[in-house]
Structures are given as C-alpha cells and as structure tokens.
Amino acid sequence: MPEWIVIFYPINFLSAYVLYIYLYHRRKRIGFHLGMNISMAAGGGLALGTGIVFINLHPLYFLEATLIAVVIGCITGILFGNLFDYQTILTGFINGLIMGIMAPMVGAVAFEGVLFLIMVEIFIICIFIFVAASAYKA
C-alpha cells in the first residue's frame, strides 16, 4: 500500500471540522429528526474513514486500529449530537461505536489496491456535502 494515503486523515478531519462550524450557527433551526440523521452520518463516516486508513497503514496492529476508530467515532457522534438534543447524543454515540468496530474489517478488503479507498473517501465527502446542503435548506 503506498504511503501517500496518510493525506486522507487531514482531509477527513478538516471537512468534519468545517461541517461542525457550519452547523453550529444553524443549530437552532434544525429539528430533531434531521439532527438524528446528521449525528449518525457524521459519526459513522468519520469512524469509517479513520479505521480504514489506519488498518491499511499498519496491518499488524489490529487492536489499536479498532480502539482508535471506536474512540474517534464515539467522540464525533457525541459532539455532533450535542448540538441538538439529549437523544441525538445517544444515537450518534451508538452509530459511531458500531461503525468503528466494523471499520478495520472493511479496511482488510482494500489490501489489493488503492481504488476502493479512494471511492470510500469520495463517499464520505459526498455524505458531508449532503448534510451541509440539507442544513442550508432547513
């Protein structure tokens, strides 16, 4: 696996940070149903990206990959759910946890080539753009 896939970490974290700042000023106008879906998508997407890139960079460290993906998914879900309600915290937390457990197993598929990884990154960025667009309309 080539070494330049490290560049996916800053892309993921920077886009999640921009999304958080964008949502923070509009959080009063977003209802709880849209808020639940936003926290699920953000936590799950960031946990998936982190776990897949980590298991491809260091294939020997399965335990650390699972731990880091779970912790980042839980914290992201709690932070995005904290914008809206108490129950969106719970939903974002549990979805980040399950996606973080599943991410290293999905990342083991991508050992053959780098094309699958690029597609997953495009998917995550598109999910973030859809979330921002739906918050713009609300």
Partner 1 sequence: MVIVLILTIMINLTIGISLYYFLKRRMIIFTDRFGFTSSYVSSSTSGLAISLGLVLLFQNHIEMIGVLNILIGIGFGWLYGSLLNSQSIIAGIYHGGISGMMGTMLGAIVLDPSICGLPESLLSGQNIIVVFALLSVCIQGLSALLLLFSFRA
From the list 18-26, 90-98, 118-126, 130-138, the region that binds partner 1 by CB under 8 A is 90-98
d(CA 76, CA 16): 9
Q: At what angle do helices 32-57 and 86-107 cross, to 10 degrees?
A: 30
Per CB under 8 A, which region of 23-31, 43-51, 60-68, 128-136 contacts partner 1? 60-68
One-letter amino acid of 106: V
Contact (CB, 8 A) for 54 and 70: no
The nearer residue to partner 1, 105 or 125, going by C-beta atoms, is: 105
C-alpha 66/C-alpha 101 separation (Å) is 6
Residue labelled with tokens 């880091």: 68
Residue type at position 112: E
Interface with partner 1, residue 17, by CB under 8 A: no
- Provide, rounded to whole angstroms, the least separation between the CB of residue 38 and partner 1: 15
| Least distance to partner 1, CB of residue 25, Å | 23
Return residues touching partner 1 (CB under 8 A).
32, 55, 59-63, 67, 70, 74, 85-87, 89-91, 93-94, 97-98, 101-102, 105, 108-109, 111
